[in-house]
Structure 1
């Protein structure tokens, strides 16, 4: 016999204690048994950190019926896969059909047969174990694919930065800044992982800009600037349209990270919340790192000057709600900046706002 601690757990839900005792006597040799005498208690056990592996559920109970318990359990994404077997005196065909329609895997009528209860429980636990194993394999494979795609995205992003005569560490730093800002704005872990792994692709469209324009040391002419402004659309075309959430987000970021809150950005002149949140976050992270970093055409700004500029652009270039969150992440920003520095001790300089505007136009 397996160690008691390794036994699967059965939750018996019935308002009649004698029914609980009967089912317990049939199953306790092979399984751990938990019990509840009403629907609320049953859901508390199911939602706990140690949920049961299967639920034996009566239908007619005072307060919350077994049907309602099953409906609520199946509506919970984290618990809906727990198999539910109804055990009830309601033996009409329509009763059985209803029980199965709302998510139960089986339906046993009273008076019960111990052999049938044992066989049904054993079968559905085996199926549940198989399902969990398959889901684990799928999750592992999905994670492997996510990692592979993320590496491709990162490498393409770094390629775009090197072509622009900037440092590859820029995409690393700004991706960390974007994740910090996303967390401060309330994004969940899945969304944060996607944001972190797609932010490096924001400037991939620069691969399509001629070097004579991209690497020009002086100011761009109006015609050259018109070509430069095409890089978000080029980036979106490089990535393409996909149902995949990772690549879809990368495309949205590449296409919208130069849009501005007041509608004066490009390529589509989107304004406010028309701009996807991921694009708005990356816009802030990208410019913040550009200000704090030394480039061939400028020195690094001090944190004070960079924050003055970012604040001055709140409600203009940037989402004001995101700018309001910047001070809360600055300690981590400085830690990341030091960890992924390009040149130790690069001097920070002050520059007037007009000069900063010109520097940022090339970003």
Structure 2
């Protein structure tokens, strides 16, 4: 057993609808491991998604509600749980069955009736591999943290540089990034997804760099030609960021391109509608508009919180995804705290910290 797991007994989730099979596997493994049990696919997922997830899952295929195949598929689709090794333990013994199980992301396939020494050996092996993988990930993360931090700072600085064109403090990108984070958390996104959104939301308006100052800073309403130019900034932002395989930059590009799309299809630049709009674009749209409503701009005065919230509510199903807007309102008190904490009147974030 490795050092990192040596401080505690690893947890094995046994998911099987047969009490006899659960009892047998618990007896075979119980001396060396903590055992959790689930008699259905739904219960297996609940344990896997809990705050104390298992280190390995032994999964039957034929179960009530969700099959083992569907349970495995959902676990492997979840960024926060996909690394948990899954071993199918089943009476389905054809080559096709085994091939399907492995194609879904399982690390091994054991057929019933089980051989206790075989189960013990396979579990021991895959726990060791999982532990080694986690240690390797930790080492890689440690070595690349400086590079990642540098990328994040560049993204945030570029976002703030764009915002300084029509906002004296640049605090808009700080506020709306926090608002987007709160909405995403309320919507049930996992911590990795929430952090990715928080890191990239600041780049939403980087395309403003390509909009002439006389238009961006014009007091009062824009004429049709000026509006046409302003509406180019999402595409300009996407072009500035460019297309990349890197997840951070790819996400920043998506947000820059889609944060002015509307749920009803009347947005720009692509006129996307409903769930055609990427999730992060829908979330950032809510955060961006609310902050803009509550703060002064060259073309408008600031609204009160009650006025801004009323405008947001009117756009439910219009500008905004109704489900995500509900998440926004469920977090409204924390959002208003963020608005006060990073208010433009307090100066820049750097000035507040000094």
Quote the residue 2:350 is aligned against.
none
Quick one: distance in 2 between partners of 1:52 and 1:315? 42
Quick one: distance in 2 between partners of 1:308 and 1:328? 14
Quote the residue 2:351 is aligned against.
none
Classify 1:145/1:10 alpha carbon distance in 2 versus 1 (closer, same or farther; 3 Å).
same
Quote the residue 1:193 is aligned against.
195
Quote the residue 1:333 is aligned against.
335
Cα deviations across residues 15-57 of structure 1 (Å, max 9, x unaligned)? 89xx99xx98xx99xx946789x9969x98x9695857899x9
Cα deviations across residues 91-143 of structure 1 (Å, max 9, x unaligned)? xxxx9x99997667799xxxx9x9x9999998777655433322332344566
Q: Please tell me whether the aligned partners of residues 70 and 104 of structure 1 are also in contact (alpha carbons under 8 angstroms).
A: no
Q: What are the ranges of 5 or more consecutive residues in structure 2 without an aligned counterpart? A: 15-19, 348-354
Classify 1:193/1:98 alpha carbon distance in 2 versus 1 (closer, same or farther; 3 Å).
same
> Which shows bigger deviation, 291-300 or 237-246?
291-300
Quote the residue 1:360 is aligned against.
none
Q: Which structure 2 residues correspond to residues 83-162 of structure 1 after superposition, within 5 A? A: 129-140=131-142, 145-162=147-164
Cα deviations across residues 328-348 of structure 1 (Å, max 9, x unaligned)? 222111111111111159xxx
Quote the residue 1:215 is aligned against.
217
Cα deviations across residues 316-361 of structure 1 (Å, max 9, x unaligned)? 322333334443222111111111111159xxxxxxxxxxxxxxxx
Cα deviations across residues 211-251 of structure 1 (Å, max 9, x unaligned)? 23222334433222221111011001111122333322211
Q: Which structure 2 residues correspond to residues 25-104 of structure 1 after superposition, within 5 A? A: 32=32, 49=52, 77=76, 78=81
Quote the residue 2:273 is aligned against.
271
Quote the residue 1:261 is aligned against.
263
1:230 and 2:232 equivalent?
Answer: yes
TM-score, normalising length from structure 2? Answer: 0.67
- Greater relative contact order: 1 or 2 (C-alpha under 8 angstroms, separation 6 or more)? 2
> Which shows bigger deviation, 69-78 or 180-189?
69-78
Quick one: distance in 2 between partners of 1:83 and 1:275? 33
Q: What are the ranges of 5 or more consecutive residues in structure 1 without an aligned counterpart? A: 87-94, 346-363
Q: Which structure 2 residues correspond to residues 268-307 of structure 1 after superposition, within 5 A? A: 268-307=270-309
Quick one: distance in 1 between partners of 2:129 and 2:283? 44
Quick one: distance in 1 between partners of 2:277 and 2:82? 35
1:259 deviation in Å? 1.8
Classify 1:206/1:186 alpha carbon distance in 2 versus 1 (closer, same or farther; 3 Å).
same
Quick one: distance in 1 between partners of 2:108 and 2:250? 37
Classify 1:130/1:215 alpha carbon distance in 2 versus 1 (closer, same or farther; 3 Å).
same
> Which shows bigger deviation, 77-86 or 212-221?
77-86
